[in-house]
Amino acid sequence: MSIALISDTSCNKHQMGDHHPEEPGRLDAINNRLIASGLNMVLLHFDAPEVTREQLLAVHDKDYIDMVFEKSPAEGLAWLDGDTAMNPFTLEAALHAAGSAVLGVDLVMQDKASQVFCAVRPPGHHAERHRAMGFCIFNNVAVGAYHALNHYGLKRIAIIDFDVHHGNGTEDIVKGDDRILFCSSFQHPYYPGGDFSTDDNNIINIPLPRLTDGEAFREAIFQHCIPRIEAFQPELIMISAGFDGHREDDMAHFNLLEADYEWITRQLSQLATISANGRIVSCLEGGYHLQALARSVEAHIKAFL
């Protein structure tokens, strides 16, 4: 079965300032790398639709959604927090970014693709139920997961977040929901900080020290994440695919390489084959060194093959 790539031109228009690391060039770098590698020719390409209000309400508070719409500026920038701004095109981009995860779920559930990569921005995994945070406005991966639960009646979904930053927003939304197993590996102490300990059985947090390399990363995933996913038997695997743990990325302090992202993607693909009919939907999160990001996404998608 085919691998799908979902994006949208609106995502390139979202801009938070000339020196902001979460920039449109991220998607350009990925696209150029996929063309140069030849992968672009073997992927099914889809434009992301806009997420519906009902789909957003499954994961975000009504008042928060209303505030985002009201804050959307006619010109200039409107800041939602110290890191996250909206320009006149951001709202459209955020709606399409969340909609990409919905379409990704539709494609794998309707057997139109086996795996999906959503090359969209703004990212989503820091967006909590009631607030924007860390470049994120709507929680794309959570929107997709709850669409799978509510529209397709799935009972077990695993979300794996290997971004170098803790997926605090996704945890805030899914904690206590035993239909979703959430696993987040991240540098600690580091942004977003806070207390990552939890009594919720569906949350697996894997804090790792600065300078964590591929060997230590793989060992931690093998020890804490893989066995829980095997036991959970998910019907769908979703990925918050952040590549800012690459050693060339100065956003954080991990020493991961493309081979490590390929490795974890292969592990998750094998698990998806066992219980989820191979179904995986992966959503782009972080990754701010453009060349390292592009190479890592290439490795991630190749691992699906």
Q: Which domains does the chain have, with CATH numbers?
A: 3-304 (3.40.800.20)
pLDDT, tens digit (0-9, with 9 covering 90-100), for 237-286: 999 999 999 999 999 999 999 999 999 999 999 999 999 999 999 999 99
Confidence of residue 142 (pLDDT cuts 50, 70, 90): very high
* Predicted local confidence at residue 258, as pLDDT: 98
Q: What is the DSSP annotation of the chain?
A: --EEEEE-GGGGT----TT-SS-THHHHHHHHHHHHHTGGGGSEEEEPPPPPHHHHHTTS-HHHHHHHHHH--SSS-EESSSS-EE-TTHHHHHHHHHHHHHHHHHHHHTTS-SEEEE--SS--TT--SS--BTTBSS-HHHHHHHHHHHHH--S-EEEEE-SSS--HHHHHHHTT-TTEEEEEEEESS-TT-S------TTEEEEEE-TT-BHHHHHHHIIIIIHHHHHHH--SEEEEEE--TTBTT-TTS--BB-HHHHHHHHHHHHHHHHHHSTT-EEEEE----SHHHHHHHHHHHHHHH-
* Predicted local confidence at residue 5, as pLDDT: 98
**Alpha carbon separation from 119 to 28, 53, 122, 154 (Å, rounded):** 10, 22, 10, 25
* Predicted local confidence at residue 195, as pLDDT: 86
pLDDT, tens digit (0-9, with 9 covering 90-100), for 108-132: 999 999 999 999 999 999 999 999 9
pTM for the model stands at 0.98
Within 13 Å of residue 186, how many CA atoms lie on the same side as its CB? 28
* pLDDT > 70? residue 78: yes
Q: What is the mean pLDDT of residues 203-229?
A: 98
Show the tokens assigned to 153: 């009646």
* Predicted local confidence at residue 81, as pLDDT: 97
* pLDDT > 70? residue 220: yes
* CB proximity list for 298: less than 8 A, separation 6 or greater: 33, 34, 37, 39, 258
Q: What is the mean pLDDT of residues 39-59?
A: 98
Amino acid letter at 225? C
* Predicted local confidence at residue 194, as pLDDT: 87
* Predicted local confidence at residue 1, as pLDDT: 67
| Residues 14 and 24: beta-carbon distance below 8 Å | yes
* pLDDT > 90? residue 225: yes
* Predicted local confidence at residue 235, as pLDDT: 99
**Alpha carbon separation from 266 to 101, 142, 240 (Å, rounded):** 21, 22, 15
CA distance 149 to 207: 28
CA torsion angle 7 12 15 18 (round to 10)? 130
Give the mean pLDDT of the chain. 98
pLDDT, tens digit (0-9, with 9 covering 90-100), for 59-70: 999 999 999 999
Q: What is the mean pLDDT of residues 167-182?
A: 98
